[in-house]
Structure 1
Amino acid sequence: MTDPGRAASTIGRPPHLERVRTVDYHTAGEPFRIVPAPTVPIPGATVAERRQRAIGDTEADALRRLLCFEPRGHADMYGGFVTPPDDDGAHLGVLFWHKDGFSTACGHGTIALGAWAVRSGLVPVDPSGVTDVVIDVPSGRVTARVRTTDDGRVGAVDFVNVPSSLVAADVPVATSRGELRADLAWGGALYACVDAASAGLRVTPEDLVDLIALGREVKAALAGDPRLDHPSDPRLSGLYGTIFVDDLGTSADGGPHQRNVTIFADGQVDRSPCGSGTAARVAVLAATGRLGDGQALVHDSIVGTRFHARVQERLTDAGRDAVVPVITGTAHQVAESAFVVDPDDTLTPGFVLR
């Protein structure tokens, strides 16, 4: 019988990982593990270049796996390496990661980074009570607009995203539950948005196993579709996840009230309403007339947490009608950790069970 520890050790023991310090947050229930000072070099002139190099870099990927995989993490862990920004116009850069690699965008992570940057003193509190933390991410430059009280405590954070757009509407997708219809939308990453009821499901914990399986099906069925190609940067191409939506009617201001769960990467579940996914939903709803200027999308998660989202600006991006979405949520610190590697530990960098 094969020793699972020995099997895992064939991944290779990562260098420079004797002690890695992290600050852990959650945004609306979704984890975000911040690594303020990564212990491996990640070269590149821009954050987008660093992501490309990290994907194929043994040391950077080993650090990702160490902090994401069990026993230090889990299959749904999410985090980011803080990096220098692209230029002096931003306060910091970040490489987002999850169990399957490095992502192009992460709204819940941006909200957490904004709260962390202000709480840690990296970005001084603006006396006005609204502090902009400007962050370079692989898909562009975003802002975490952090609101503080008179005594300096962090409250809500507005995530001002890159331009977001409806890429294709009502796309047929063949699945084991019959032909479904998906709206393809860009919110810093590309998502397929599907009405959960059309598949005989609801966005509830009871249906989560089926939602995960169907999310993987939808992603696999759309693989290779030319509409998944980014119009200007091939590094941003591909479908990141499937968003299942329950329509809950209208909110107090007449805007839509919806509940969603985002199944991203390879079956990973977002506990929050998903920041970049919410941006994609704003793009769909604005393009179809469901979300008007001055209205808010009330966006609930599968665990009952909530984002509010609105259109800040309408514009044209890469030849498409687009919007600049603003998503509001909260993030809270849950831990400060120093992860270590025992030289005798054969389960390094770790494992995942799905």
Structure 2
Amino acid sequence: MSQSPIPYRPTIRLMDTHAGGDVSRIVIGGISPLPGDTVRAQMEYLRDDADGLRKLLLFEPHGIPEMSIDLIVPATDPAAAAGYIIMEVMGYPIYSGSNTICTATAVLEAGIVPKREGIQHFTLEAPAGLVKIEARVENGVVEGITCEGLPSYIDTHRATIHVPTIGDVTYSVAYSGGFYALVDATELGFSLTLDEERALAACAHKIVEAIQAERGFSHYTLGDVGPLPFLHFMGPVEQVADDFYRSRSTTYVHPGVICRSTTGTGTSARLALMNLEGRINPGDRLETISLRETGFIGKFTGTRQEGPHQVVENTITGKSYVLAHSDIVVNCDDPMVECAGLLPVLSQRRVDQG
């Protein structure tokens, strides 16, 4: 039975990319202008009134929960070249390092920002606010993106919680775009290799559930941002140069879902913890290495005091690869496609209009 009386099948234009193995599906066409006078307000509209776009592109038959969606929208701040809204299986994060790296690459590849050889700078508008971008282009290829990480801080340092079937677990909590539990992988018996992926997801889920049941967290300006969603497993830190460190890492984001990359916000969280523990200085860099041997480089650029918190300023560097250009056909007659919450945001152009 048809879910919609629309006599045509809308299309959504996509550029699939990945950074560190995490696939970001960039939406570059087919969506109507969204209500809201800021990118944050437009994100809230999607979250509260039009969540169908996220569901369509992340779940079968068009996607999988391990992906992310980045909707490019016009910037509302004149300082920005474009805006973007991040959609993931757990909802609508206000910022993400890997998604920012992929979106910055996509706006260059799509010509939204003219691509120039060498180093170029521009600004994007995330729901979290303005994000400065440095892009490195060589022979027409975007070889690297450096983006600002959100100011990050440690909320809780080395607390202990009892987790059923695991035992007592020591954890810290950072805010770096979302609240992260940070745990030592070695203390839990993990080496952070690919064959451990399923066990890491199961272990992280139990720890996150236990923390959520025991307490909540509040950001110093944002207030209550919901239950702690993420857990970052930390491997041993190796110093490979005077100002350069390396550590295996992996991030849990949803039941059964371990990120392919180490995540930009997870890397920012690590910098905040290393700063608190006196193990890193301004100008130092940390490369986090994933289960799939991909990496992001976080740079500790400075600190400032925000109330009781010493906030770490940082950047994240990585490379995004373009995987595919495609048009998804939205067929509301398909019983596997749920069009509720989707139709209000679809462009009214017909497929045969190009």
Distance 1:17 1:42 in 2: 20
Of 120, 138, 146, the match for 2:127 = 138
Distance 1:94 1:173 in 2: 37
* CA root-mean-square deviation: 2.4
Q: Is the 8 A contact 1:69 1:349 kept in 2?
A: no
Residue 239 (1) aligns with residue 228 (2): yes
Of 78, 82, 105, the match for 1:88 = 78
Q: CA deviation at 1:136?
A: 1.9
Distance 2:72 2:126 in 1: 10
Distance 2:121 2:214 in 1: 38
Q: Is the 8 A contact 1:164 1:188 kept in 2?
A: yes
Going from structure 1 to structure 2, the CA distance change for 1:17 and 1:27 (only over 3 Å counts) comes to farther
Q: Is the 8 A contact 1:203 1:246 kept in 2?
A: yes
Q: CA deviation at 1:280?
A: 1.0
Q: CA deviation at 1:169?
A: 0.6
Going from structure 1 to structure 2, the CA distance change for 1:199 and 1:295 (only over 3 Å counts) comes to same
Going from structure 1 to structure 2, the CA distance change for 1:169 and 1:235 (only over 3 Å counts) comes to closer
Q: Is the 8 A contact 1:273 1:301 kept in 2?
A: yes
Count of equivalent residues = 337
Partner of 1:63: 53
Partner of 2:97: 107
Residue 172 (1) aligns with residue 160 (2): yes
Going from structure 1 to structure 2, the CA distance change for 1:316 and 1:38 (only over 3 Å counts) comes to farther
Partner of 2:257: 268
SS in structure 2 at match of 1:164: strand
Of 35, 39, 42, the match for 2:34 = 42
Summarize deviations over 1:159-202 as a string: whole Å, max 9, x none: 21221111111021221211111111111111111111211222
Pick which of 131-140 and 193-202 moved more: 131-140
Q: Is the 8 A contact 1:48 1:138 kept in 2?
A: yes
- Within 5 Å, give how 1:172-321 maps onto structure 2: 172-175=160-163, 176-223=165-212, 228-234=217-223, 236-253=225-242, 255-317=244-306, 319-321=308-310
Pick which of 137-146 and 21-30 moved more: 137-146
Unpaired segments of 5 or more residues in structure 2? 340-354
Pick which of 251-260 and 221-230 moved more: 221-230
Distance 1:224 1:51 in 2: 28
Q: Which runs of 4+ in 1 moved over 4 A?
A: 12-17, 224-227
Distance 1:238 1:277 in 2: 17
Partner of 2:16: 24
Q: CA deviation at 1:262?
A: 0.5
Unpaired segments of 5 or more residues in structure 1? 1-5
Of 107, 116, 121, the match for 2:106 = 116
Q: TM-score, normalised by structure 1?
A: 0.88
Distance 2:332 2:45 in 1: 27
- Within 5 Å, give how 1:139-154 maps onto structure 2: 139-149=128-138, 151-154=139-142
Going from structure 1 to structure 2, the CA distance change for 1:317 and 1:126 (only over 3 Å counts) comes to farther
Partner of 1:3: none
Residue 159 (1) aligns with residue 142 (2): no
Structure 1: which amino acid aligns with 2:64?
H
Distance 2:220 2:244 in 1: 30
Summarize deviations over 1:275-301 as a string: whole Å, max 9, x none: 111111111112211222232112101
Structure 2: which amino acid aligns with 1:75?
P
Q: CA deviation at 1:26?
A: 0.5
Going from structure 1 to structure 2, the CA distance change for 1:126 and 1:61 (only over 3 Å counts) comes to same
Summarize deviations over 1:145-167 as a string: whole Å, max 9, x none: 11122x44311111212211111
Distance 1:309 1:162 in 2: 12
Going from structure 1 to structure 2, the CA distance change for 1:318 and 1:62 (only over 3 Å counts) comes to farther
Pick which of 313-322 and 220-229 moved more: 220-229
Going from structure 1 to structure 2, the CA distance change for 1:277 and 1:121 (only over 3 Å counts) comes to same
Q: Is the 8 A contact 1:100 1:266 kept in 2?
A: no
Q: CA deviation at 1:265?
A: 3.4
Distance 2:41 2:161 in 1: 33
Q: Is the 8 A contact 1:91 1:135 kept in 2?
A: yes
